Amino acid sequence: NVSLILLINLVIIMLTNAIIITTHHPCSAFHASTEISNNLVCDNFTLTLASTDFGLTIHEKPLAVLEPTSITEISELIKVSNSLSTPFTIAARGQAHSVHGQAMAREGIVVNMTHLNGYRHGKGVVIFRDEKDLWNSYADVGGEQVWSDVLNAALEYGLTPLSWTDNLFTSVGGTLVNAGVGGQTFKFGPQIANVYELDVITGKGDLKTCSAEKNSKLFYGVLGGLGQFGIITRARIALGPAYTKVKSLRLLYSDFSAYSKDQEYLISLNGRNDNAFDAVEGFLMINQWPNIISFFPTQDLPRINSLLAQHNILYVLELAKYYDNTTQDQIDQVVERLVTGLKYVPTFKYEKDVLYQNFLHSSENPGGFPEGPQSWLDIFVPGSRISDINEGVFKNIIFKQNLTANGIILAFPMNRTKWNDKMSVAIPDEQVFYLVSVLQTVTYDTLKTFDDQKNQILEFCKDSGIGIKQYLPRNKTHEEWIQHFGPKWQNFKDTKNKFDPKRILAPGQGIFN
Ligand code: FAD
């Protein structure tokens, strides 16, 4: 009897402890109820990593990190959250190349998507090459895969994705919830315009396949939808024939108007033939951004510096022409014809021949982004107001304030016709609009000064009535989000209510939480 009483007491003590553990220990909270518990990790190192991103300025600690070994586990996790009276939030984390905590989940669960690599058994990227028409080829890609792996797999079949960003080490899912813009956007649209189909786990935990024809509300919602409606586990990415080489050019302008006119002319030539460049980008050269000069021959640096000193700001037009079997002479002629009539400063034309994959990789980290806190602002600017940005932002704010940091300022246009307005991403309502990105690596001491400068830029745009849209948007109040999405807001909200009614997903974007 005594031992029976002891045993009962022990069970009571164990149960009490179990309840305490269940209440206070996030990993234990799921032990009894689901199979996913084994892959929930709560050690300090993992939690610290999940509360850090490329930006190094925001740190939101989750309760736990799911290191999934299957897609079903992610679905189950979302279902567990849905079943609770107070659901926990869940953030997919691709490569955490966000700079503003977008892939974090304070007191929620972060899903470390890279762990799906094990589940794929080396089949994260599967290529389908259409021999009859290479332009119909595609890649089925895990949402956690990085673009450089998609490139490598496609190249083995003589194929390539069509649209790129400047960073090949972001995940496919992570860019598709934004847009994915770069030098090819003018021609093929952003990366989201080059997707045929998606597998998505919705905010209710349902795994759905969607495309323009099937579950189209989900498909269009997810593309550019800032992770609000579902977690992408597979994307079918458009491929086309690959090239082996690239003629890469940089032309220097001292006059912004000539620079932007030439850019707009070049993006109006967007055929898939010798009559157009394959990539058009551009950046500013201001004294405080020295890293970007590595492209230029050392012996020319003094005269470039003297041109810069004379004009304060130089605008660097970046162009690329892909080629394959063409002889060197032929490609030189094609390029010469394409640049004829452009109004760059005479003799300030530089070119290199590089391998196709090296070209795509070399545009990554163009400013060399060393590790450190990042102060970033990306905006889409209507083409009709880009000269106001030059005067009001480049000259009157950035040049005048003369803050010193590593980084880069990008300014290049794209064609709205290459975007699909059904997709969630917010863009200006003009046929041509620019990406203007002010991307700087700073120190913790100077971070506030640089962020203040970004806010001044936003204020200038607001006061001047320039209808910009933020890309990779950040720090918005609810009202500002409504304004950001404009006519798309109602549909955005309806899509959220339909696919993530408990507002579980991607809390780091700060839209519904
Ligand atoms: P994360 O930072 O991990 O996540 C970003 C958001 O996506 C989060 O809300 C997250 O929850 C969500 N998410 C992640 N995976 C999934 C998924 N599978 N399904 C659904 N939601 C998901 N962008 C451009 O467009 N063009 C550029 O040229 C460019 N250059 C860059 C250069 C550098 C050096 C860096 C750091 C970033 C650059 N970016 C550029 C921005 C980058 O594309 C985005 O920050 C992108 O979100 C990063 O992908 P990620 O895998 O790191 O996403």
Tally of CA atoms within 13 A in the half-sphere of 254 that contains its CB: 13
Predicted ipTM beyond 0.95: yes
Residue 391, pLDDT score: 98
Q: Does 365 sit in the ligand 1 pocket, CB within 6 Å?
A: yes
Q: Does 113 sit in the ligand 1 pocket, CB within 6 Å?
A: yes
Q: What is the DSSP string of 309-368?
A: HHHSEEEEEEEEEEESSS-HHHHHHHHHHHHTT--SPTT-EEEEEEEHHHHHHHTSSTT-
Q: Does 173 sit in the ligand 1 pocket, CB within 6 Å?
A: yes
Question: Could you give the angle at which helices 489-499 and 478-485 cross, rounded to 10 degrees?
Answer: 110
Ligand 1 mutation target, pool 89, 93, 503, most atoms within 8 A of CB: 93
Structure tokens at 420: 């699909």
Whose CA is closest to atom 10 on ligand 1? 103
Rounded distance between C-alpha atoms, residue 507 and residue 77, angstroms: 16
Q: Does 203 sit in the ligand 1 pocket, CB within 6 Å?
A: no
How remote is the CA of residue 96 from the centroid of ligand 1, in Å?
Answer: 7
Q: Does 367 sit in the ligand 1 pocket, CB within 6 Å?
A: no
DSSP letter, residue 169: T
For the annotated catalytic residues, the residue numbers are 97, 166, 281
Coil/strand/helix, residue 244:
coil
Ligand 1 mutation target, pool 115, 148, 167, most atoms within 8 A of CB: 167
Ligand 1 mutation target, pool 71, 144, 147, 171, most atoms within 8 A of CB: 171
Residue 36, pLDDT score: 81
Q: Does 407 sit in the ligand 1 pocket, CB within 6 Å?
A: no
How remote is the CA of residue 326 from the centroid of ligand 1, in Å?
Answer: 36
Rounded distance between C-alpha atoms, residue 102 and residue 178, angstroms: 11
Ligand 1 atom with least separation from CA of 233: 18
Q: Does 69 sit in the ligand 1 pocket, CB within 6 Å?
A: no
Whose CA is closest to atom 1 on ligand 1? 96
Residue 270, pLDDT score: 72
Rounded distance between C-alpha atoms, residue 33 and residue 140, angstroms: 33
How remote is the CA of residue 129 from the centroid of ligand 1, in Å?
Answer: 27
Q: Do residues 81 and 152 touch, judged by C-beta distance below 8 A? A: no
Q: Does 62 sit in the ligand 1 pocket, CB within 6 Å?
A: no
How remote is the CA of residue 172 from the centroid of ligand 1, in Å?
Answer: 8
One-letter identity of residue 367: G
Q: Does 108 sit in the ligand 1 pocket, CB within 6 Å?
A: no
β pairing state of 90-93 and 109-112: parallel
Q: What is the pLDDT along the chain (513 residues), one digit of tens a residue?
A: 444 443 344 334 334 433 333 444 456 555 545 668 889 999 999 999 999 999 999 999 999 999 999 999 999 999 999 999 999 999 999 999 999 999 999 999 999 999 999 889 889 999 999 999 999 999 999 999 999 999 999 999 999 999 999 999 999 999 999 999 999 999 999 999 999 999 999 999 999 999 999 999 999 999 999 999 999 999 999 999 999 999 999 999 999 999 999 999 999 997 767 789 999 999 999 865 545 667 888 899 889 989 999 999 999 999 999 999 878 889 999 999 999 999 999 999 999 999 999 999 875 444 457 789 999 999 999 999 999 999 999 999 999 999 877 888 999 999 999 999 999 999 999 999 999 999 999 999 999 999 999 999 999 999 999 999 999 998 899 999 999 999 999 999 999 999 999 999 999 999 998
Name the region of 189 (left: φ>0; alpha: ψ -120 to 50; beta: rest): left
Residue 23, pLDDT score: 40
